[in-house]
A and B are shown apart, each in its own frame.
Chain A
Amino acid sequence: MGEFLQQLMNGLSLGSIYALIALGYTMVYGILRFINFAHGEVFMVGAFVGLWSAPAIADFFGGNLFIAGPVVILLAMVVCSILGVLNERIAYRPLRGKPTIIVLITAIGVSLFYQNFFQSVVGPEPRRFPDLIPQTRVLETDYLIVGSTPLVVIGTAFGLMWLLRFVVLHTKVGTAMRALSFNLQAARLMGINVDRVVAFTFVLGSALAAAAAILFASIYPSVHPLMGLFPGLKAFVAAVLGGIGNLPGAALGGLIIGVTETLVTGYVSATYRDAVAFTILILILLFRPTGLLGSTATEKV
């Protein structure tokens, strides 16, 4: 029982990280109908920003992690937002309206570019991510130990998701985003500046991915150029699981994937860890292709 609760806790923290990444996929898919394959690489860059900036920032604030931690996250979010917008501007915008296959291949190309660029310039070897979360035991009983890390991770992730919810539901640009995802052409005709809203969508998604990266590296402190690949794919699966284009769905999907994966790793075998998400994906697409919270859409004849 104790071990199960421990695993569940780990699963929830991993899941809330997947949820943050998944939100970026689902927002872009909701509006532009394509899988932003390079999203996982934005995540990876976020981790590197943290890796490089954390020591200096921690120094600056006299080693006070309660201030340094949030500052590192904010910095990573800003850098990745810029990166996300650049990706959109350079690679995706010229292809808007082109067949899905073309855009998807381009996104894969961008993703490969980041992986290999970092491998060439920074080197492929994993580096250790510094501790940004103060290590304390919050709760300790006979059969369960709750450290500060999962609580901080889950708390931060849910805080950011709440923030996103506020932006999407209660701001002007959020309303424009929803209008775009409903009908891009109609939104354009209503005078919405589509390019600007799309760019803002990339800002939001990339910022969340950056925050997710810092949290992820705080749990698994190994930073390397390929680290974005699997979290990215799994987060995409989470988005599909929840119903792509649906924000609460992405969060729910992320949690489910994170928990399932942790339980399989703990109780079955770590070697099947990376197959869990894909198996879930195939099952969901076969039995409920619209996802858990998605709505149905039929093609007009």
Chain B
Amino acid sequence: MDDLLTVDKLTMRFGGLTAVDSLSFSVPADGLHGLIGPNGAGKTTVFNMITGVYAPTAGDIRFNGSSVVGKKPFQICQTAIARTFQNIRLCPTLTVFENIQIAQVKNLDYGFFTATTHAGRFRRDEERVAAETFEILDLFNLRRVAHEKATQLAYGDQRRVEIVRALATKPKLLLLDEPAAGMNPVEKQELMELIKEVKERFNVAILLIEHDMKVVMGICEHIVVLDHGAKIAAGPPAAIQADPAVIEAYLGEATH
């Protein structure tokens, strides 16, 4: 088992409701996998368990060979899992630059007292942070808006800033929660290019939740389909598209 992420019989119950039911799948270190399913299938709940927002009722999540269950979200981020959110969560009073900065707090060499005095290692470390921030902003062509309030950007730009912020934590696994939501077809096309490029350039595995089938089928190598919390299918895009259980799940939703 040299998969980067292994989800094993993961179960989440809220009161009487089983949101995720004994789900197992894995993502290899160079994977670009998709997690799809109708609304309310439990996709975001899976993300929330992987990132420690929720503690699973049962089952295990192993990352790089060791379990992350029971760790706090910030500790999981420090083990190199980063995520974006379905409803963009950028810090509204901070600039784009500062939003990227906060992703680098965990990599700082200095601590509280140095921060209050600006002495010792401070300047060197801050220069490194600034350089890395501008570098990654340049890469995504976002330097021009570096000092604008993040939440005042166009919607598509906000989504990209959120991806950049997640990347700035230097993850090995990137979880994207509906990155294409609210984008127009042109933006979606750009996003697909972007995701593929991110995967190559940053050498990171990607697991994404997406509703837009064109995006999912266009870039994912492997897809897991959830319905009512349970895995109903898994495989490469072509197989998923032909799978009767998947078609049933989606059609079933459409007729409601």
Residues of A near any B CB (own CB < 8 A): 301
Contacts and interface: CB of A to CB of B under 8 A. Distances in A.
A282 to B, nearest CB: 24
Contacts of B53: 301
B110 interface: no
Kindly list the 3 A-B residue pairs having the minimum CB-CB distance in the complex, ordered from nearest.
A301-B53, A301-B48, A301-B85
Contacts of A301: 44, 48, 53, 85
A301 B48 CA distance: 8
A17 B193 CA distance: 67
B135 to A, nearest CB: 30
A301 B85 CA distance: 8
Interface in B41-55: 44, 48, 53
Nearest to A299: B53
Interface string B27-44: 000000000000000001
| Overall SS of chain A's interface | loop
4 contacts: A301-B44, A301-B48, A301-B53, A301-B85
A301 B53 CA distance: 8
Contacts of B85: 301
Nearest to B89: A301
A292 B148 CA distance: 46
Nearest to B48: A301
B159 to A, nearest CB: 17
A301 B178 CA distance: 13
Nearest to A296: B15
Interface in B138-178: none
B255 to A, nearest CB: 27
A274 to B, nearest CB: 36
Contacts of B44: 301
A301 B50 CA distance: 13
A296 to B, nearest CB: 10
Nearest to B86: A301
A301 B44 CA distance: 8
A157 to B, nearest CB: 35
A72 to B, nearest CB: 49
A301 B19 CA distance: 15
Nearest to B44: A301
Nearest to A300: B87
A141 to B, nearest CB: 50
A79 to B, nearest CB: 44
A67 B4 CA distance: 80
Interface string B84-126: 0100000000000000000000000000000000000000000
A150 B89 CA distance: 55
Contacts of B48: 301
Interface string B71-92: 0000000000000010000000
A170 B174 CA distance: 53
A29 B85 CA distance: 30
B99 to A, nearest CB: 18
B46 to A, nearest CB: 12
Nearest to B83: A301
A301 B175 CA distance: 14
A301 B12 CA distance: 15
A188 to B, nearest CB: 22
A194 to B, nearest CB: 25
